[in-house]
Structure 1
Amino acid sequence: MTDSIRFLMCAPDHYDVDYVINPWMEGNIHKSSRDRAVDQWQNLYHIIKDRAIVDLIPAEKGWPDLVFTANAGLLLGQNVVLSRFLHPERQGEEPYFKKWFEENGYTVYELPKDLPFEGAGDALLDREGRWLWAGYGFRTELDSHPYLAKWLDVEVISLRLVDPRFYHLDTCFCPLSGGYLLYYPPAFDSYSNHLIERRVAEEKRIVLNELDAVNFGCNSVNINNTVIMNKASESLKQRLTELGYEVLETPLTEFLKAGGAAKCLTLRTTEPVREELHAVTYLESRTLQMRGHLLDAGIMNRALDVIVDRGGSFKVLNFNLGAERQSTSLAEVRVSAPDRGVMEDIVADLIDIGAMDVPEDERDALLEPVPMGGVAPDDFYVTTIYPTEVRIKGAWVRLQNQRMDGAIAVRETAEGVVARCKLLRDLEVGEKVVVGVHGIRTVRKVEDRDRASAGEEFSFMGSGVSSERRVELVVEKIAWELRQIRDRGGKVAVTAGPVVIHTGGSKHLARLIREGYVQALLGGNAIAVHDIEQSLMGTSLGVDMQQGVAVRGGHRHHLKTINIVRRYGSIAKTVEEGIITKGVMYECVKNNVPFSLAGSIRDDGPLPDTQMDLIKAQEDYGRMLEGVEMILMLSTMLHSIGVGNMTPAGVKMVCVDINPAVVTKLSDRGSVESVGVVTDVGLFLSLLVQQLEQLTNPYVRNLSL
């Protein structure tokens, strides 16, 4: 027996599964055998008692989980942080544990009542006393970790749990003597696994498989070179034995029904203290403000989900609900994250939703110089589609050229400070770039819930359109918007793929261009080639567009088409020479509608007009999208994604494809001004032209297709 090691245990005199507060309890209410539980506990008690000193806390009727003393609190030296149980079913245990600690001479620290922390179940000291591993995510809040660091004067490393089966850290993580670690990686998020790997060398990490994990192999008691556990596979026992550990199995199946095993049933009260090491915590907290229709527009739920999904924690400090139906709400939320990097990611996502620092007028954006052309400083802020402002020298400056996936470049000019969204490759020495997330806010319109009922809002219709009539209803709205934009002299861009030609949509798209509904055409080499092939030879990819059958030798038609255009030097010259007499590209040339064809490695030819320099093609796309009000994305996923990344919020986007996955990917950009239409693009264009005819002449009969 080792006199220097002590444990606290509680006999299972009143143990049972009386409620469900974790997945292991489901289906096990009152199904535990009291006699078997007593026998199993006694076996564990004697194994430990032979190797250490065991103190007992009296069992109390009505508190069946008091037997799991690991959750009493966290001890280091003569200091103890008392647990604050999340579930009411266990909160009544707290006074009994507090009394025992005080009677045994410990200084007891108590967390705020609304801040859950479940003791040594969620906080495990490195066996050499170098730091404290602290879990959060299910039963313990991240905000408790700074208290642990302060009161126990210890470095705290926060680990996020993501598998509800492993709701406490000690169910999936067990530090061992000698610096070894027994753990189950899938129980943690990727960032926490990264932290573990940085602290524990690979040769000292013992990774459990799922079978050992669900048998609570990590919920073990380690006394010097002895590891006491419920059950272990032969491979796990062999690995531990090879490392010099003695493995003792003692069945604890009755306690597994409540979600606990050896470690849960014990609290080590003599933890190693390293006097030369002191408190360190990497946790960061920040208060953010959100304003708008936070509940009915779902903004509040989205924000809180972002915080949790990203690995943070939150506390709503203030929430003022709008008094009237049209009133906006205001919320202040304190966000906590395990370190600065995670905090930056969380805040960046919240800024996208419309959150801002509180108070917003205290911090300017942080600026760092461009270190070399085409390279941003570390931690640069990545822009989104939403109109953004940055605070510079106390004033909010609107970002120019708003687009996704850029950096914010700042210059001082004679006219004042200019902030511009720029791609990384375009950054220049002499500019400064915004880093971090301070002094940044997105500018959102407060959503008026009455706009949709008034017929004014181009609302997101969902990517799944199940019937032709549903498609027609969506097309009616799109046609109305197109007509409004054309009549006021606005700008519509189309990004289209060759499927438009293959499905018979060429004549309809050509008509839209001819009648002034399209002001820019973006695509690749293929749409132009197959459109011109159809104009010259009546085929698309060698298929007769009238009869729908392959033409003998038709597979060479697209190459012949390319050759003809190359002979004349450009699409425009081929039109001017009277060779091309109809089609999409013909109408673009005849109606002075600019087009940009971005090439790719798979292009045949290509056409002389196809821009094979990717960077120049992106620049061409960007110029043609300036001032656009609506974009029709017609069956070309890659070009549409590129266009979407260049387009700020507020531009109406229509994504059409027969593949629902493509529509969802293109339309789900966080904007209410996107509509997804799952249908044949040829059918869509035909319906669109018919609807526009009806708007021009209501008496035109809507021909069935």
Structure 2
Amino acid sequence: MTNPTRILMCAPDYYEVDYVINPWMEGNVHKSSQATAIEQWQALHQIIKEYATVDLVPPAQGWPDMVFTANAGLVLGQKAILSRFYHPERQGEEPYFKQWFAENGFQVYELPQDLPFEGAGDALFDRDSGALWAGYGFRSELDSHAYIAQWLDVEVLSLRLIDPRFYHLDTCFCPLSGGYLLYYPPAFDTYSNALIERRIPAEKRIIVPEPDAVNFACNAVNVDDVIIMNKISPELETAIATKGFQVRQTSLTEFLKAGGAAKCLTLKTTEPIQETAQANAPVDSRIIHLEGHLLDAGILNQALDLINEQGGSAKVLNFNLGIERKNTSSANVRVSAPSPTTMEDIMSALIEMGAISASAEDVQDAHLETVKQMGVAPDDFYVTNIYPTEVRIKGQWIQVMHQRMDGAIAISEINGTIHARCRLLRDLQVGEKVVVGIDGIRTNHKTTARPSAEKQEFSFMGAGVSSERRVELVVEQIAWELHKIRAQGGKVAVTAGPVVIHTGGAQHLASLIRQGYVHTLLGGNAIAVHDIEQSMMGTSLGVDMNKGVPVRGGHRHHLKVINTIRRCGSIANAVAQGLITKGVMYECVQNNVPFCLAGSIRDDGPLPDTEMDLIRAQEEYARLLEGTNMVLMLSTMLHSIGVGNMTPAGVKMVCVDINPAVVTKLSDRGSVESVGVVTDVGLFLSLLMRQLDRLNQKAAMTV
């Protein structure tokens, strides 16, 4: 039969598994059978010749993977883009394929030497639209897609591969005639799967189960309604046949040992040019600048990992290493993403790490949009974080005031002076200008202090979660920091839950307040109720705090307390009347320490001091936290998360809870000046007061 389809193959004269450059080669070095490989290749060759004309490129000794001609390059019409192999083990194939393309009348395009792209192994034409599906993540770089789109004048659809078993696109993705698709979804990230589902109707998607996928069922050759492939399951064969395709199976087990099958062994050289296809901009690229202790603190690795995990691609363009211990390092990194949305997600995270545009010429003013509905920000508004932030407005950098997490940046101009401040969504007013997108934004991270392995006697611990065996050491450091803050006239906030009372920590927290270590108390209705219950009745949740046993009728104690305080009108009135004579709330009143009790749906009573309007409670929390130097978070995940979101970077934070998951969640907020302590909160407070007493005694002796 006559068929215009032409396919390039290479005889396996020198085929062998000589090295390991993919997971399939592991354990198979020098374990392939040359005779069996030749037999299987010839069987495939004969089947393909029934449906297409086969051209042969001469094999070259020393390059055993040259048999996989799919990686020779990418062909469209009379244009051929030569591959740039990722691994040195295959780079020697390039001159042979270049020579074949040139001798056969193709115009050869060559990518930069340092830009990997592995041909039709990572680039497959859609048989319906003519668009090009292009893979990246293991062998080909995302930045190559822009060259391909321009040179071939095609729409490029970038797909990120995430499973190392499927290191080339053609190992898990096979476009078929009529717009059908044979593919294995778990090989791709979420964005790529969404793109596939958006472009290919469900009825035309044939999903390959994992047992067939690992036998390279997707690595198939499609000519019209015929699909030539390695052995597959009867179920998959039936699924393919129901779509109108004829399946031709042939064993290719010897080539699976090197990570390839039917498609890898072939290159279609008669790809038709689609009239509707046209070049797009498949890659959004930016160059960022990072500065700091990039190696010591792992900043550069974190940035590169982040870019990759978010679906982008990165290349370090230059790196300047700080020579002296005090010096910082700097690097320029090109960041590429397959879509503006992905780029925005990546850049938002990089901005939080302190990344800025690499050159002043590239810096733009922040984009502003007007609020059209009260309490509703424009789409794509920039979401703030805990780090000091600046925005560029009219060519000048403006410091953002009231820095906090999860807000928007509102811009105003008063008497010619531009102001920027974090505002909660609910506070936005119609007509207000809000920063959108990621341009013209930079954050300031501390970069002056090089991380040191040396222990400083009383240095505040870096971010982390401390285990039980280190509690006393951590408490010693926290006590020293509290002592220093008090001496300098600083401010400490405590957010505490009722567990503080139940575990016997009330007397110690009360002592902290009485001695001037605590300057504001934040919590809920429960901590106040149970603290006052203990003060007035000696119980907490009806349990005798001295004997540790329930008291008859004790389950009603907390309600009796609530009723008494409601009769008085406030906690302060109850203290003035002599009803409350000790405890946490007593010390707050007696020492003029402001407190805010934020209510919830589960509160009994509540106490008259409890603020049941959630928004007003949040506003009062934020007001009381202003100017805070340290926050002690004592066994209350809900209130601590709220406080953490309101607190900018630079505030020292200590989270104490018996549950490691709670401590990890509260400590993992990006601040380098935070520590989590996994222990009983009552024990922690007892140890803390003991250490503070020692410091006070030492200070008294030196006077």
What's the TM-score bracket when you normalise by the shorter of the two chains?
Answer: over 0.9
2:465 maps to 463
What is the deviation of 1:698? 2.8
Q: 1:456 to 1:156 in 2, by over 3 A?
A: farther
Q: Where do residues 265-276 of structure 1 align in structure 2 (5 Å cutoff)?
A: 265-276=265-276
1:373 maps to 374
1:584 maps to 584
1:388 maps to 389
1:228 maps to 228
Question: What runs of 5+ residues in structure 2 fail to find an aligned partner?
Answer: none
1:428 maps to 429
Q: Distance in 1 between matches of 2:44 and 2:395?
A: 65
Q: Which runs of 4+ in 1 moved over 3 A?
A: 450-457
2:568 maps to 568
Q: Distance in 1 between matches of 2:187 and 2:356?
A: 33
Asked if the contact 1:128–1:272 (Cα under 8 Å) also holds between the matched residues in 2, the reply is no
Question: What runs of 5+ residues in structure 1 fail to find an aligned partner?
Answer: none
What is the deviation of 1:559? 2.2
1:250 maps to 250
What is the deviation of 1:205? 1.4
Q: Distance in 2 between matches of 1:465 and 1:440?
A: 38
Moved more, 641-650 or 445-454: 445-454
Seq. identity, %? 70
> Which amino acid is the alignment partner of residue 27 of structure 1?
G
CA deviation vs aligned residue, 1:598-640 (integer Å, no higher than 9, x gap): 1222222222222222222111111111111100011111111
CA deviation vs aligned residue, 1:411-468 (integer Å, no higher than 9, x gap): 011160000001111111221111111111112232323887555742316213241x
Q: Distance in 1 between matches of 2:271 and 2:699?
A: 87
Q: Are 2:606 and 1:606 equivalent residues in the alignment?
A: yes
CA deviation vs aligned residue, 1:513-551 (integer Å, no higher than 9, x gap): 111111111111211111111112211112211111222
What is the deviation of 1:233? 2.2
Q: Distance in 2 between matches of 1:684 and 1:532?
A: 21
What is the deviation of 1:556? 2.3
Q: Distance in 1 between matches of 2:367 and 2:547?
A: 64
Q: Distance in 2 between matches of 1:600 and 1:47?
A: 72
DSSP 3-state at the match of 1:572 = helix
Aligned residues: 699
Asked if the contact 1:407–1:421 (Cα under 8 Å) also holds between the matched residues in 2, the reply is yes
Q: Distance in 2 between matches of 1:176 and 1:17?
A: 30
> Which amino acid is the alignment partner of residue 611 of structure 1?
E
Q: Distance in 2 between matches of 1:210 and 1:611?
A: 56
Asked if the contact 1:344–1:436 (Cα under 8 Å) also holds between the matched residues in 2, the reply is yes
Q: Distance in 2 between matches of 1:2 and 1:587?
A: 96
> Which amino acid is the alignment partner of residue 620 of structure 1?
E
What is the deviation of 1:208? 1.6
1:480 maps to 480
1:215 maps to 215
Asked if the contact 1:464–1:660 (Cα under 8 Å) also holds between the matched residues in 2, the reply is no
Asked if the contact 2:162–2:188 (Cα under 8 Å) also holds between the matched residues in 1, the reply is yes
Q: Distance in 2 between matches of 1:618 and 1:461?
A: 26
Q: Distance in 1 between matches of 2:576 and 2:163?
A: 67
DSSP 3-state at the match of 1:165 = coil
Q: Distance in 1 between matches of 2:348 and 2:19?
A: 40
What is the deviation of 1:289? 0.9
Q: Where do residues 446-595 of structure 1 align in structure 2 (5 Å cutoff)?
A: 446-449=447-450, 457-460=459-462, 462-467=464-469, 470-595=470-595
Q: Distance in 2 between matches of 1:700 and 1:486?
A: 15
CA deviation vs aligned residue, 1:273-292 (integer Å, no higher than 9, x gap): 11342111231111111111
DSSP 3-state at the match of 1:142 = coil
What is the deviation of 1:63? 1.0
DSSP 3-state at the match of 2:698 = coil
Asked if the contact 1:126–1:132 (Cα under 8 Å) also holds between the matched residues in 2, the reply is yes
Q: Distance in 2 between matches of 1:551 and 1:79?
A: 89
The alignment's C-alpha RMSD in Å is: 1.6
1:108 maps to 108
Q: Where do residues 146-157 of structure 1 align in structure 2 (5 Å cutoff)?
A: 146-157=146-157
Please, what TM-score do these two structures have when normalized by structure 2? Answer: 0.97
CA deviation vs aligned residue, 1:95-149 (integer Å, no higher than 9, x gap): 1111111111101101111100000010110012421000000000001000000
Moved more, 277-286 or 686-695: 277-286
Q: Are 2:351 and 1:351 equivalent residues in the alignment?
A: yes
What is the deviation of 1:332? 1.3
DSSP 3-state at the match of 2:165 = helix
What is the deviation of 1:666? 0.9
Q: Distance in 1 between matches of 2:354 and 2:392?
A: 15
DSSP 3-state at the match of 1:238 = helix
Q: Distance in 2 between matches of 1:476 and 1:457?
A: 10
Moved more, 500-509 or 531-540: 531-540
Please, what TM-score do these two structures have when normalized by structure 1? Answer: 0.97
1:188 maps to 188
Q: Distance in 2 between matches of 1:229 and 1:510?
A: 76
> Which amino acid is the alignment partner of residue 202 of structure 2?
E
Asked if the contact 1:16–1:30 (Cα under 8 Å) also holds between the matched residues in 2, the reply is yes
Q: Distance in 2 between matches of 1:245 and 1:26?
A: 34
